[in-house]
Structure 1
Amino acid sequence: MVNVLYLGFLTSLGFYRNMGNYMELFAKNISEAEEQKMSKHRCMEVLCKFSDELDKCSEIYSEIYKITRRFYKLFQFCAFFTICLMTMSLIRNVHHALIYYLKYEQIIWSSLIFSVLRFLDFIIFPLVVDLMVEESRVPQNLQWDCMFPGVDKRWDKSVNQFLTQLRFEEIKLNVYGLFELNNNLCLLILSTAITYLTVLIQLSMIGSI
């Protein structure tokens, strides 16, 4: 199930990255056209083409957003279950290795290695989601409202609609409102694991007295 989540978010990451690269090239073409000396009629023709292209980009961006949201809603419980399972597995293996070391002064390398691999999953999974979110914000970071401002009403309308769409379709993924899927998730899980490990070790030491 983890592989399905990875595959889905990596696919959305690829979509957003390609979209962001195209939008950067599109913005560059607009800036180059703005620097050229054109007649008013020629300028209107160019802006008409740019408006059509921006509207098409808006439709594609909206489809990527809808696909990503549908995929996440479909697998939101799987993401929650996977995160809980990996957290409990990490705590259990580290606790087992520490208790064994305190009793017999020997290190269980298999448990420690497995715990490290579990923690790497915690790092990679939120990292992929965070990269996807960053790539989705690339078109929003471009200064669309500074390109041909007030020259053509249709162009201004397309720009305003696109900027409004970007604000409403900003990707923010959280798990049932409990926590967001981003790089801070690693610190949250690590602090939770340390807290529970501290309690478990103290209880184990009390029970051994």
Structure 2
Amino acid sequence: MIGIVNYGAGNIFSLTAALDRVGIGYGMVNEASDLDLYDRIIIPGVGHAGAAMEKLVQSGLSSYIASLEKPVLGICVGMQLLTSFSEEGNADLLKIVPLKTLHFGGRVTEKVPHMGWNSIQIQNGSTLFQGIEDNAYFYFVHSYFIEYEADFTSAVCRYGVDFSAAIQKNNFYGVQFHPEKSGKDGEQLLLNFSRI
């Protein structure tokens, strides 16, 4: 069973619909004690990283998430929350992965936000991408990106700059794209996470 962290900043419906489609059971994590009810955790995300972090702190979830030893998947803003710092709100985040979340503005000539389908290049053989071909397309909607660092990057995407489309550190996984909106490959990724 997957616990979905409900902190008021996630697109929960799209995610639960995708989990229903592939037959993965789930429930909601509203407070720290709920984390013990599930063997895997997803931090969804649509919104502002700084505001999302404030909500995690206020709910008491932030320190518990950082200490988890079970698999955790952050999606979009949920992935950014795993990093040390975001330019969005100049916010300190969970500091699980020692990377920064940066704004595209001033760094790319492409339109911001980065919105639509883009290919990713898989690196480091992450189990999250089993059965998914290199250069597969996933759906992105974001104005902030995680700096590329080979040691923690399991997939890279290019949009004016190379950025981390997926990261991993130990039991913590993150994807900048939305697997719940990315068709069969997105569903395969969610299935892979449910089996890690």
More strand, by proportion? 2
TM range (shorter): under 0.3
Find the structure with the greater CA-based Rg.
1
Richer in helix (by share): 1
The higher-RCO structure (CA 8 Å, 6+ apart) is 1
TM-score, length-normalised on structure 2? 0.23
TM-score, scaled relative to structure 1 = 0.22
